[in-house]
Chains A and B, each alone.
Chain A
Amino acid sequence: MAAPTTPAEIGGIGHSVQRKEDARLIEGQGNFLDDIDLPGTLHMAILRSPLAHARINGIDSSAATAIDGVLAVVTGDLMDQHGLAWMPTLSGDTQAVLATDKVRYQGQEVAAVIATDPYIATDALEHIEVDYEELPPITTPQQSLEEGAALIRDEKEGQTDNLAYTWETGDQGATEEAFAQADRVVTLETHYPRSHPAPLETCGILADVNSVTGQATIYMTSQAPHAHRTLFAMVAGLPEQNIRIVSPDIGGGFGNKVPIYPGYVVATAASLLIGQPVKWVESRTENLISTGFARDYYMKGELAVTDEGRILGLRVDMLSDQGAFYSDAQPTQFRAGLFHVVTGSYDFPAAHINCKGAFTNKAPGGVAYRCSFRITEASYLIERLVQTAAYEVGIDPAEMRLKNFIQPEQFPYETATGFVYDSGDYPTALRTAMDEVGYEDLRREQAEARAEGQLIGIGIAHFTEAVGAGPSRTYDIAGLKMIDSAELRVHPTGKAILKLGVKTQGQGHETTFAQIVAEVLGIPANDIKVEHGDTDHTPYGLGTYASRSTPVGGAATAVVARKLAEKSKKIAAHLLEAADEDIELASGVFSVAGSPDRSVTIQDVALAAYTNLPEGMEYGLEDVTYYDPPNLTYPYGSYIVVVEVDPDTGVWEVQRMVALDDCGVRINPMIVEGQICGGLTEGFAMSAMQWITFDDDGNCIGANFMDYLVPTAWETPRFELLATEVPSPHHPIGAKGVGESATVGSPAAFVNAVIDALAHLGVRNIDMPVLPDRVWAAIDAAS
């Protein structure tokens, strides 16, 4: 790790500065959505469909409306009168706001009660009568695409089957050729199951539309407040200057808080119609059954390999379960997100990917759960596949990877599907992790244990992520280019305010972004206030997800700080009566080259910016930057997991987890490690327990924290963290982003470890979550 260049009091890059956001949060003074109360606030509760597929023959809300304290019951018909019964999704489909014709999944929004008190609103739901005519539900994408399957999206013009999209990328001809030359073809079919980000705070909104002025102030759990403002303007037809989105403290997002949900639209419409603020906060059950599911890809991967273990090509065929509406949050050009990063960390010339998505009677969503648009699925598939190939070819899984890695001197490296990886040293990363875990010894111990009937497994995953979307020529969401921004203003006393287009949900932007400015200008990080989340007070940006804050917003921050450094140097030259080009800046001190005792500080310069300027210079010390990244960034890591599997019960326990991450330059090592520990835990969760599933009637199993298991402190493994630091060559401070790496990379390591324990029995796959009964069944079937 490079040593920090600024002293601790300044707290620039590389210092584990304590977080500024903690002071309010440890005293219960955070300001989360449900903490906000406005005079006259009304409360909304949503009536949801108990059935997965049914026609609505009528809704009688008269009894509910008559209840004391109920102001209105909003139905699809009422929304329809305002043209708001349907809304566009981020993937070019439409989604019902309140159902008018049919319900298409359990938990779908049917009506909403607006009342003076949340208890009354919830009570009133029971008095709404809905006349449903049950239709057969379709609960798997395979069923959905069968000939003659009932049409789920019968309202959609031109839709004659249940196909949501098809997508293809790569070079089919070259790939067929590679397969023709292969000594063998290794195949893995596996399901990346439906999961849910389940941040501890659920989603919510407090909409305050002033019917006289037309001003709409919308407090919302939003990871992307600016994009949401624009989308609100487009969907609801409100003039954009009258919309102010305020995203307050967010209790975790992980992708769940990227989409616009029907509840947001209904609450806003209700506030407009009634003329009072309307608040809606999801219950946990609502959160898990209706908003923002993730994954659910059935994947078949094939690797063309030689007998020596050289990879020649990759072929992937996938089917995704979209639920009732295609509402994935992802860049417009990519129907399956950035899945085509599936070639992973390996150097081979040919790949071809074919993907289909199907509508089912399940909740829509398709969010990138702590993931840069389907990269989690891609990384999982390639790392499982390479491990499978190692067994088939008969070489060690570590050796298989080392043999096929992209080499350090090959960067920038263009993959078979067109990504240009910026930098990396994969062999060093894997070897360092292997040394730490004692790989050779472990293999010996494993063999000895096997002889005793004990099952030890060692699982590796070496992932490469593509994050920081993205360059405007390729990346947009709903037409909005994925740039981001920073505005920096230095006050006369030398203190500063930095305003961002991105928005923290716990990542610590108020601290780390101040550190970037501290690094460049030498203003102590603690003297820099970071503002974000309020669209009236921050410059435009696409928000925080896909690990894009540091790659894009962080870059904008460095660039704007450098612009101010340039102006500051001119002011310093004026104060020191020296030539501009002789001024040097280090840790907030401007000195004259060759005579270091002639100096002024950034604080002197800040005052002069408002009081004493060179002839012709404009007053003030502030600027704004919109950053359009030249490329994505490519963080990577080597993870090794050791497990012991109980052959009698199928229960597996993690003995060790060594995680080496290379995310380029680390702004705040403490925060980076915190992100990695959180991400590893979610990766463990997906491999071991988190699972949203459905019965044959389309009932969601996993509708609360009793059924949808997220790990507690008790189950969570202990992690051993390592780091290397290969900077990104194109990012202004060499950083790559890290928030999602561990969630992307680690599931394959955990699953590979369990499979490795059973590999000698011939077991090659157990679908996630790797539940004990599945492990036991795999052992049973093999022996």
Chain B
Amino acid sequence: MEINITINGSDHASDVEPRTLLVDHIRRTVGLTGTHVGCDTTSCGACTVLMDGNPVKACTVLAAQADGTEVTTVEGLKTADGLHPIQSAFTDDHGLQCGFCTPGMMLVGASLIAENADPSDDEVRWAISGNLCRCTGYINIVKAIQTAAARVAESSNGS
């Protein structure tokens, strides 16, 4: 079937099998491999992308369901102005080790701080509780999301 998804600002029209998962479509057809797969039960969040601004697990969405939506993947976080604050905060706070969970964590984090300018430790932990990390123990991921929130708040106060 014919679908058209706007991914990171560009249109991607294609003919897909109806059963194609969004994550496979993004990785294999569109060729953006920053979105990962870590499970088969919608448990790990490695496949998280933003669909019309909301985090979804792309392993549990059909490509067909995403027809007509705007999808942001990790490759779309950076803009002409440079890295998204969540990206630099993950580096600064050592929020990643192997980096496999990182795209999903950053997208959830980005969507959280877009809605909550000053999330508490518990609020961040709750927001990322659908995303597993096996390396970091989460502490620095939480810190990075809070750092990014603070930097966004600071720059919007300043402007």
Contacts and interface: CB of A to CB of B under 8 A. Distances in A.
A202 B27 CA distance: 16
Given A199-B134, A706-B41, A716-B138, A674 B99 contact: no
Interface stretch (A30-38, A449-457, A465-473, A612-620): A30-38
Interface in B55-95: 73-75, 77-78, 83, 87, 90-92, 94
B122 to A, nearest CB: 9
Contacts of B100: 30, 32, 199-201, 251-252
A710 interface: yes
A717 to B, nearest CB: 9
B1 interface: no
Contact of B134 (A21, A29, A198, A674): A198
Nearest to A36: B33
B12 interface: no
Interface string B90-131: 111010111111110010000000000000000011101111
Contacts of A714: 125-126, 129
Contact of A22 (B34, B99, B136): B99
A35 B90 contact: no
Interface residues of B, number: 54
A254 interface: yes
B94 A19 contact: yes
Contact of B97 (A18, A674, A682): A674
Nearest to B101: A200
A670 interface: yes
Contacts, number: 166
Contacts of A198: 134
Contact of B141 (A19, A283, A682, A713): A713
Contacts of B32: 28
Given A254-B134, A678-B97, A714-B125, A26 B38 contact: no
A27 B78 contact: yes
Given A200-B46, A714-B125, A681 B138 contact: yes
Contacts of B129: 712-714
Nearest to A254: B134
B148 to A, nearest CB: 12
A119 interface: yes
Interface in B22-46: 27, 32-41, 43-44, 46
Interface in B137-153: 137-142
Contacts of A26: 74, 83, 87, 90-91, 96, 99, 102, 106
| Majority secondary structure of chain B interface residues (helix, strand, loop or mixed) | loop
B138 A27 contact: no
B105 to A, nearest CB: 9
Contacts of B37: 34
Nearest to B74: A28
Contacts of B46: 200
Nearest to B39: A284
Contact of A28 (B35, B124, B126, B142): B35
Interface string A17-53: 0110111011111101011000000000000000000
Given A283-B40, A710-B134, A506 B97 contact: yes
Contacts of B142: 713
B11 interface: no
Contact of B41 (A119, A251, A284): A284
Contact of B75 (A27, A200, A704, A718): A27
Nearest to B140: A674
A719 interface: yes
Smallest CB-CB A-B distances: 10 pairs: A28-B34, A506-B98, A251-B100, A25-B99, A705-B43, A677-B137, A681-B137, A28-B74, A506-B97, A35-B33
Interface of A: 18-19, 21-23, 25-30, 32, 34-35, 119, 197-202, 249-252, 254, 283-285, 505-508, 670-671, 673-675, 677-682, 704-706, 710, 712-714, 716, 718-719
Given A28-B73, A670-B94, 8 more contacts: A19-B96, A27-B78, A252-B97, A671-B94, A681-B137, A704-B43, A710-B134, A712-B138
5 contacts: A26-B74, A34-B36, A251-B38, A284-B41, A679-B137
